[in-house]
Amino acid sequence: MQERLKPHALVELKGISKHFGEGETRVDALRDITLTVSSGEVVGLLGPSGSGKSTLLNVIGAIIDPNEGWMRLDGEVVYDNRWLRRDLRRMRLEKIGFIFQFHNLLPFLDATDNVALVYHLAGVPRDEAIRRSVDLLDYLQVGHRKHAMPSQLSGGEAQRVAIARALANKPRIILADEPTAALDSARAGIVMDLLRKLAREQEAAIIAVTHDEKIYDRLDRIYKLRDGRLIETEERAAA
């Protein structure tokens, strides 16, 4: 039996702030955000519309530039009042997987090729890319649908293929934006159980923006935001 590693911080933010515009039109989307997410954790970002949840997710994913603060991802300081990495695209490919509310699978590729595309972008030979993709689909219990086109998949199956695609680069950090909002209770539970499984087995940190009360009991911790500020942290002690 493989020994579990002691959890350690994979996402660390200190004093992260982000504003849009200047002067009278300035909007403070994030204000002095400090948080930590460790390996094996699944945490939620909750708050009303406009509270800064998606902005925070995009800052962690190096899609939006913060204005100030400090950020370390997977042990590497990547932002200290400026980006310390020149190639942010490469950093995202190396460290981060993205899951969205809608699966965004390419409609002209089957399930396997949708996952293999990530390997192709990383320079993996096609035969190896296909093998790894099928292994991931099997891991997520959707391998029997490896030749299906996106239009032939159920909502839950398509979301699991999208999760496989997000895992293809073996990210330690997985960012999910409303990953279960389009699913019914049963499928939402299956997806979250799979995310919890991979967080623990792959020692990953998963951060999910969600309004979906159906999945709260699958979260280890909840960060609540309002008007760009972190107002509360709730430990869920999920099983």
Residue 16: CATH number of its domain: 3.40.50.300
Task: Taking the CA atoms of 136, 138, 142 and 144 in sequence, report the sign of the dihedral they define.
Answer: positive
164 in any annotated domain: yes
**Tokens matching residue 223:** 């960060």
The pLDDT value given to residue 1 = 37
**pLDDT for 236:** 62
| Cα end-to-end span (Å), the chain | 20
Q: Domain for residue 214, yes or no?
A: yes
Residue 237 in this model has a pLDDT that exceeds 80: no
pLDDT at 23 over 90: no
Range of the domain at 221: 9-235
Q: Is residue 4 part of a domain?
A: no
| 149/196: higher pLDDT | 149
- CA–CA gap between residue 64 and residue 15 (Å, rounded): 16
Residue 70: the pLDDT is 97
Res 4 pLDDT > 60: no
List the alpha helices (DSSP H) in the chain. 53-60, 88-95, 111-121, 126-139, 155-167, 185-201
Q: In the structure encoding, which two tokens stand for residue 85, read together?
A: 């990495």
Residue 46: CB atoms within 10 Å: 21
Q: What is the pLDDT of residues 179-226, one digit of tens each?
A: 777 777 777 777 788 888 888 888 899 999 887 777 788 889 899 999
Mean pLDDT over residues 12-32, rounded?
Answer: 92
Res 112: pLDDT: 95
Mean pLDDT of the 229-235 span: 80
Q: With bands split at pLDDT 50, 70 and 90, how would you rate the model's confidence at 2?
A: very low
Question: d(Cα 227, Cα 30) in Å, to the nearest integer?
Answer: 8
In a domain? residue 1? no
Supply the pLDDT for residue 6: 61
Count structural domains, the chain. Answer: 1
Using 50, 70 and 90 to split pLDDT, how confident is the model at 157? confident
Which residue in 154, 209, 162, 211 sits closest to 186, CA to CA? Answer: 154
Give 90-142 pLDDT, tens digit per residue. 888 888 888 877 678 899 999 999 999 888 887 889 999 999 999 989 888 88
Q: What is the pLDDT of residues 53-82, one digit of tens each?
A: 989 999 999 999 999 999 999 999 999 999
Instruction: Tell me if 3 is assigned to some domain.
Output: no
β-strands 9-20, 42-46: how paired?
unpaired
Q: Is residue 213 part of a domain?
A: yes
